[in-house]
Structure formats: C-alpha cells, structure tokens
C-alpha cells in the first residue's frame, strides 16, 4: 500500500496577521501551534503568523509569540506587504474592527472574522468590497462557534431548497434556561450564577435580549435563502420575562423552554416572497431534538427538500471551538477555496421584505399575572373567545411573588397569530392584569 505524501517543501506559506488576542485570538494561536503538521498538510502549505495586535502588549496570553511582530495600531496590519490574510478577532459591530476589515479588504487581503455583530450590520458592504477586490471574506466562527454551519449551508445543503432554518444560537440563554429547568431557580438568580461561571458577560444585554442570536440568524438567513442580510428586520424577544413558574408549567405540559431563532421564506401566490426572521423563547416538545440541547451548547436545524431534516450541534463558543472555525476558514483560503461570502454573488442576493406573520398558524403558551379576585378568569377567557382564540388547556397556578397576585397559564389550539394579538389587545388596560402577559410560541415538531 502506498501512503500519501504531502510534498509542501518550497511552497509559499500563507502569511497571516491577527488583530485581537483575547479568548478567540489566543485560541487560534494555540491551535495553529498544536496542530501545525495537520494544518500544513491540509492547507497544502504552512500557515505562518507574521504579526499581531491587541491593546496591551505586556499581557501574558499563554501562547508563544516570539518572533512575531507587534502592531500598536491594528490598521498597520492591513498595510503590510508581507501579510496575505487578516484575522479580525477584536469584536464590536463598528469601531476598530470595522475599520480594520475595510482596510484589509481594501488592500486586497483576505479577511477572516468571528464577529457576528459586524457581519450582521456591515456584511453586505464588506462582501461587496471583497467581491470587487477579488479577496476572501470568511466568517464561519461568527455563527454557532465551533459548529461548521456556515459551511454546511453554503456547501453541504447547497443542492436543496430549504424550507426553514432554526435553532439555538445563544449559549448564554441556553445555559440560563436549562439551569432554571434543573434548579427551579428564577431568572435573575440564574443569570448571576451564569456570570460567576463565565457563561454570561458582565453586561449580558446582547445575549439575554436575543440580539446576539438575531445577529447570527440574519447571517444564516442570508446564506440559506440567498437573501440580503437584513438584521433590522429580525423580530426579537429575549428571555428576561421567562419565570421559573413558566418552566415548571411547560414541564408539566411536556415541554422545555428554549430561545429559538427561526427563519424561512414565504412564497406568495403572485410570485413574490418575503423573509421571516425571529428570535423568541419557545416551548419545545420534550421529544424534539432541540429539547435535549442543554447548557451552553448551540444547535441548528436545516430542513432541505431533498436532504430532509439536518441537525448540527456543538459548542457555540469558547476558545477551542471558535478557533477551530476560524482556522478552517484559513485553510480554505490557503487552498484557494474561497467562494462568495453569502454563497451566491452579491448581485444575485434577493432583497426580501419581512414577512408579516399575523396569518401564521401557531399554538401558543400564554401566562397572565392577575389580581387574586373573582371574575378575572372569566374576563381573560372572554377576551380569548372574542379574539377567536381556542383554549386547549388552562391552568390556574398558585400565588405569584407577592401573595395578592395569581399566575394563570394556558395553551391555545393552533390558530392565526393575529388572533392571540387581538385577544391581548382586548385585555389592554385591564385592571385585572398586574403585569404584561407572556406569550410564547410552541415550536412545531
């Protein structure tokens, strides 16, 4: 038997510069060092770190950067003639990350980034710049960390028309929700715990309000449906209103609660189409594959018309998984396997208007916090009747926090979303409701 030999001596190395040496940047340096031989063989040439930049030169990064140039100003990385590819691992939708990315593509260099916020907001402009410069723009690590879902949608499922893409795209929210489920602790308490363990940032707003998941969803929607990235059209609800009582109720009904990001394209009879993108805490049946996705894990489901349902699951963050995705992009560039950033040429990306989902059929979980007095339940059920919402089950729970409030939860039969909205409008201003109702969709199986 002959063994394959990789003759790469004499081959030009791919020269990279890294901006940002935090969790991801240092992870990339570590991976390049640890897997050097594997990478050289798979890339067909050595990958060499030429220069790096971060804020604090004196900080110990736990990696060997001897022999690597340091740039105080990261834009200088884009000005170097001895660099082929820039890694933008700084973060932030604008500011230095965007300035560096523009400079890198402007000088014809390849750009690899893990920055979902920047790609969600400026991905189209950067892709246009990359296309006209003939440069690579790659962002596998921007969505779902170590899960190669960008590649899966660009390449693996490219023969399919996708019916929908949905999943769990934020590890912080998934950790919090699955911990609330395991411990019966409330949201605020679990968030503090998540921060202590490093699963949530000191300022957790982007995660718990669903914005981070929305960034990733906007990117997946563009790739999966050949649409222009439209982050502003994502309808987002975070997890801050979910109480442990909702999780207990969902459990009793056979569900768990997960933050689900979902997108699909709706074709209209006149030949036009619209794009639905939304992020919502949702009830997920316990026998659905996403129900067993616990802790900081991410998972993405893509439903192709020939492939059927595909599930991609793995670590959505962390130095190792994210570095794995970044370096896979570098290998593609080293092999000249680049392709269009959003899977098809920029001019062919469709500008799809957002779907108005009022007519969509859905089962819904509703939770009301109400005053503990006679007639309240009758008022709520009357509003449901007048809104043409059919109640499948109704549960009056025990007292809420303060003794004079009661939680009432119900699950509706499938019906148009607008009917639930209409019923809730009828309850607007009611003195029986002591807090805004919580409305959670039930994910279809």
Ligand X SMILES: NC(=O)c1ccc[n+]([C@@H]2O[C@H](COP(=O)([O-])OP(=O)(O)OC[C@H]3O[C@@H](n4cnc5c(N)ncnc54)[C@H](OP(=O)(O)O)[C@@H]3O)[C@@H](O)[C@H]2O)c1
Rounded distance, CA 130 to CA 122, Å? 12
Residue 31 in contact with ligand X, rule: CB under 6 A: no
Edge-to-edge strand list for the sheet holding 110-113: 69-70, 47-53, 14-19, 85-88, 110-113, 137-138
Which residue of 14, 16, 18, 24 would you call a contact of ligand X, by CB under 6 A?
24
Which residue of 6, 36, 55, 309 would you call a contact of ligand X, by CB under 6 A?
55
Contact range with ligand X by CB under 6 A, out of 54-62, 125-133, 367-375, 408-416: 54-62
Which residue of 16, 23, 250, 324 would you call a contact of ligand X, by CB under 6 A?
23
Residue 119 in contact with ligand X, rule: CB under 6 A: no
Rounded distance, CA 60 to CA 56, Å? 9
Which residue of 114, 327, 328, 420 would you call a contact of ligand X, by CB under 6 A?
114
Closest to ligand X by CB, 296 or 304: 296
Could you tell me the two tokens for 231? 């982050």
Contact range with ligand X by CB under 6 A, out of 83-91, 240-248, 253-261, 295-303: 83-91
- Whether 350 sits among the annotated catalytic residues: the reply is no
Could you tell me the two tokens for 436? 């805004």
Give residues 298-317 in contact with ligand X (rule: CB under 6 A).
Answer: 317
For the bound state, the minimum distance from the C-beta of residue 131 to ligand X, rounded and expressed in Å, comes to 22
Which of 442, 309, 257, 255 lies closest to 364 in space, CA to CA?
442
Residue 415 in contact with ligand X, rule: CB under 6 A: no
Q: How is residue 432 annotated by DSSP?
A: T
Which residue of 28, 31, 87, 96 would you call a contact of ligand X, by CB under 6 A?
96
Q: What are phi and psi of 14, to 5 degrees?
A: -85, 120
Contact between 88 and 115 (Cβ < 8 Å): yes
Q: How is residue 13 annotated by DSSP?
A: P
Closest to ligand X by CB, 318 or 354: 318
Pairing of β 110-113 and β 137-138: parallel
Count CB neighbours of 292 within 10 A.
Answer: 14
Which residue of 145, 224, 304, 387 would you call a contact of ligand X, by CB under 6 A?
145
Which of 253, 254, 256, 276 lies closest to 264 in space, CA to CA?
276
Contact range with ligand X by CB under 6 A, out of 47-55, 265-273, 277-285, 390-398: 47-55
For the bound state, the minimum distance from the C-beta of residue 117 to ligand X, rounded and expressed in Å, comes to 6
Closest to ligand X by CB, 320 or 354: 320
Rounded distance, CA 181 to CA 444, Å? 21
Residue 324 in contact with ligand X, rule: CB under 6 A: no
Catalytic residue among 109, 138, 216, 350: 216
Closest to ligand X by CB, 118 or 180: 118
Pairing of β 255-267 and β 433-442: unpaired
Count of chain residues binding ligand X (CB under 6 A): 24
Which residue of 14, 17, 28, 74 would you call a contact of ligand X, by CB under 6 A?
74
H/E stretch holding 258: strand 255-267
Residue 336 in contact with ligand X, rule: CB under 6 A: no
Which residue of 22, 339, 354, 357 would you call a contact of ligand X, by CB under 6 A?
22
Rounded distance, CA 359 to CA 339, Å? 38
Closest to ligand X by CB, 304 or 341: 341
Which of 116, 160, 155, 117 lies closest to 139 in space, CA to CA?
116
Q: What are phi and psi of 3, to 5 degrees?
A: -95, 145
Binding site for ligand X (CB under 6 A): 20-25, 53-56, 59, 74, 89-91, 96, 114-116, 141, 145, 317-318, 322
Q: Which amino acids are annotated catalytic? A: 216
């Amino acid at each position: 038997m002959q063994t394959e030999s990789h003759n790469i001596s004499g081959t030009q190395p791919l020269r990279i510069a890294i901006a940002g040496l935090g969790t991801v940047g240092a992870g990339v340096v570590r991976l390049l060092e640890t897997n050097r031989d594997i990478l050289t063989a798979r890339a067909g040439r050595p990958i060499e770190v030429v220069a790096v930049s971060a804020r604090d030169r004196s900080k110990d990064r736990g990696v060997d950067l001897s022999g690597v140039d340091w740039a105080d100003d990261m834009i200088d990385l884009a000005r170097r003639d001895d660099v082929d590819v820039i890694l933008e691992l700084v973060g932030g939708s604008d500011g230095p990350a965007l300035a560096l990315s523009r400079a890198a593509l402007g000088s014809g260099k390849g750009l690899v980034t893990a920055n979902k916020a920047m790609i969600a907001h400026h991905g189209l402009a950067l892709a246009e710049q990359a296309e006209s410069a003939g440069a690579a723009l790659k962002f596998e690590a921007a969505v779902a960390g170590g899960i190669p879902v960008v590649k899966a949608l660009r390449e693996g499922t490219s023969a399919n028309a996708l019916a929908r893409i949905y999943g769990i795209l934020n590890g912080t929210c998934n950790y919090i929700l699955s911990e609330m489920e395991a411990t019966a602790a409330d949201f605020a308490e679990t968030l503090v715990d998540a921060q202590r363990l490093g699963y949530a940032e000191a300022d957790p707003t982007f995660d718990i309000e669903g914005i981070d998941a929305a960034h990733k969803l906007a990117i997946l929607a563009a790739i999966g449906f050949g649409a222009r990235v439209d982050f502003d059209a994502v309808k987002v609800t975070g997890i801050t209103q979910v109480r442990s009582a909702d999780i207990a109720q969902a459990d009793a009904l056979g569900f768990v609660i997960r933050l689900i990001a979902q997108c699909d394209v709706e074709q209209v009879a006149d030949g036009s189409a619209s794009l639905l993108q939304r992020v919502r805490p949702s009830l997920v049946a316990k026998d659905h594959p996403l129900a067993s996705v616990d802790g900081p894990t991410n998972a993405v489901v893509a439903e192709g018309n020939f492939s059927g349902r595909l599930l991609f699951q793995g670590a959505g963050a962390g130095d190792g998984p994210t570095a794995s995705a970044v370096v896979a992009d570098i290998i593609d560039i080293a092999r000249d396997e680049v392709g269009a950033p959003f899977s098809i040429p920029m001019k062919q990306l469709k500008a799809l208007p957002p779907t108005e989902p009022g007519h969509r059929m859905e089962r819904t979980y509703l939770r009301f916090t109400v005053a503990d007095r006679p007639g309240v339940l009758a008022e709520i059920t009357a509003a449901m009747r007048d809104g043409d919402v059919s109640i499948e089950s109704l549960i009056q729970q025990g007292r809420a926090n303060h003794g004079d409030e009661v939680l009432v939860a119900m699950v509706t039969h499938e019906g148009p979303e607008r009917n639930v909205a209409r019923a809730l409008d009828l309850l607007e201003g009611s003195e029986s409701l002591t807090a805004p109702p919580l409305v959670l969709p039930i994910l279809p199986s």
